Amino acid sequence: MYFIIPTGRSIMRFLAAGFALINIQAFAQITPEEISVETMPAPGANWFISKTGNGGYIFDATTGEMQGLLSLSRYTPAVTAYAPRREFYAAESYLSRGVYGDRTDIVAIYDFDNLSPIAEIEIPNHMARLAVRAHMGLMNDGRHLAVLNMNPGHSVSIIDVLDRVFVYEASTPGCAVIMPVADSDFLQVCGDGTLQLIQLDLSGFEENRERSGVFFNVIEDPIFDRATRSADGWYLISHAGNIFEVTTDDDEINISDGWNVQPEGEEGWRPGSRAEFITAHRDLGLIYVIMHEGGVDTHHENGSEIWVLDATTRRRVHRLELESPASSIMVTQEAEPKLIVAGDGTHVFDAITFVHERSIETPGADHFEDL
Amino acid sequence: MNIEKIIDRTYYWIDENTRRTSLALARKLSRRNFLSRLGMLLAGAAAFPLLPVARSFAQNSIQEIGDPQSCEYWRYCAMSGTLCSCCGGSYTSCPPGAEPSPITWVGTCRNPVDGRNYLMSYNDCCGKAVCSRCGCHNTEGDRPVYFNSNSSTVLWCFGTENTSYHCTVSMVLGATDE
């Protein structure tokens, strides 16, 4: 007489056989799932793009949910949307072997539904390749896109995004930044302390060029190359915190008197950061500026506070203290706007009550784009 | 044949060749063409020493202090980028295989050893992946992109075969009190 003593291996075989039976039964009861692909719905209120080094992450600021990704080149200065055609436009630059090889600069066009490239237009390989929002601008009539070049002299490539053709390259020595005004014009800031207005004709070629009088000194107190739209034009700000509103009337350039963001006794504070530190709600006339304590030449220091300014009364209405220094901000243009802040993570604030609503996990954002 | 005859014949040979060459040139070229080419030569010769690339070779030895792998090193007062001295190069040399950009931005930095201010040229080294070591962003005298000679945030890989950014060196062009 003998006993069969189960070994460890035989116990395992027995259990495996039992699980296999259970699994077959489980599969028999459930319909196998099929993979599907989402289509992006029409952008809702307070949707925005978080433009990063590898693409544009689209979020709903109200829920914090990500909606999809635009894959962009690492050299893309900015991406912008044009709702009437349901398209996104981005200037991109590629090297055929990643870090060497043939360079190809393009304007890529993406559709709203799939965030996929649907067309591309080759442009001169002169793009400035810096993540600056105002290095690319869609004219207000939605027909022509302007892309800033550096080679190392400044020029601007004009692209017809409706007919999908490159139009021409305008030489703009000493002037950079693209600020669309009127239907098909744009303003630039120039190193001699002036503004330049370039007016395009229906085909996108330069029809007229005007220069303003000198209103700042680039050595004493330069105007930043970061700007934001106002109700009628653009707000510019200097290293020392002087704000100017610039508008046009046909071929006339109007520059408001400058006013300083610093109340008396708080001269130690300065505007600035490494990215887009000024934004404005156009209907409410509120300007939001990232501020830090520092001296001359600290203009790229990220800020510990956001100052909210009333453009009409030219007075500060709020100081928002931040838990971590901010590099980039954008206010959405809705009636109940959100203030999106990049620093240590991406944070959403109510832009009127300044209550922190949520933090969103995103890779480091260069800047944000309202949708 | 004495030495005087040899000298005379040499002079004759030189004179004759010069005469023939001048005549040949005169037949081929107009006077205006000759003057324009001579003018270009003189202007080029005068401008050559002014080029930053040429001036950088003219520097004398400078007393150094500090750690070239630290962003606080005196030469880096207007530096933005990653330090080539941390990437297989030095503060004046690109790492192996990288291509120096001949076009640069400039700054003025004070050397604490001799108390003199030096005009600095910041050259990007290009054609390789970015060397993500020793990132440095100092903004003394930095100006916006529209004033690009003093703008450190620009990608300065111009005039190179490949335009990708690798790291940055800092060259002394001269003392500002010279």
Residue A323 lies in a domain: yes
Residue A304 lies in a domain: yes
pLDDT of residue A297: 94
pLDDT of residue A362: 85
pLDDT of residue B40: 53
pLDDT, one tens digit per residue, over B105-142 is: 999 999 999 999 999 999 999 999 999 999 999 999 99
Kindly state whether B148 is in contact with chain A, defined as any CB-CB distance less than 8 angstroms. yes
Residue A165 lies in a domain: no
Q: Do B145 and A150 touch (CB under 8 A)?
A: yes
A371 and A58 in contact (C-beta within 8 Å)?
Answer: yes
Nearest residue of chain A to residue B139 (CA atoms): A297
Cβ partners under 8 Å of residue A298, min gap 6: A270, A272, A292, B139
Q: Do A130 and B137 touch (CB under 8 A)?
A: no
pLDDT at A251 over 90: yes
- Residue A156: CA count within 13 A, CB half-sphere: 33
Nearest to B158 among A152, A188, A300 (CB): A152
Residue A338 lies in a domain: yes
* Confidence grade of residue A48 (pLDDT, cut at 50, 70, 90): very high
Kindly state whether A345 is in contact with chain B, defined as any CB-CB distance less than 8 angstroms. no
Cβ partners under 8 Å of residue B76, min gap 6: B83, B109, B136, B138, B170
Residue A332 lies in a domain: yes
Nearest residue of chain A to residue B160 (CA atoms): A100
| Mean pLDDT on B13-18 | 70
Q: Annotated catalytic, B74?
A: no
Nearest residue of chain A to residue B166 (CA atoms): A99
**Residue A369 structural domain:** 261-371
pLDDT at A322 over 80: yes
Q: Which of B15, B67, B105, B114 is catalytic?
A: B105
CATH number at residue A295: 2.130.10.10
pLDDT, one tens digit per residue, over B25-49 is: 555 555 555 455 555 555 545 444 4
Q: Annotated catalytic, B124?
A: yes
pLDDT of residue B33: 54
Kindly state whether B145 is in contact with chain A, defined as any CB-CB distance less than 8 angstroms. yes
* Confidence grade of residue A217 (pLDDT, cut at 50, 70, 90): very high
pLDDT, one tens digit per residue, over A168-205 is: 999 999 999 999 999 999 999 999 999 999 999 999 99
Residue A283 lies in a domain: yes
Distances (CA, A) of A23 to A9, A31, A33, A34, B14: 21, 14, 16, 19, 104
Q: Provide the number of structural domains found in chain A.
A: 1
* Sign of the CA dihedral with A334 first, then A335, A338, and A339 last: positive
pLDDT of residue A23: 55
| Mean pLDDT on A229-244 | 97
Interface of A with B in 265-284 (CB under 8 A): 274
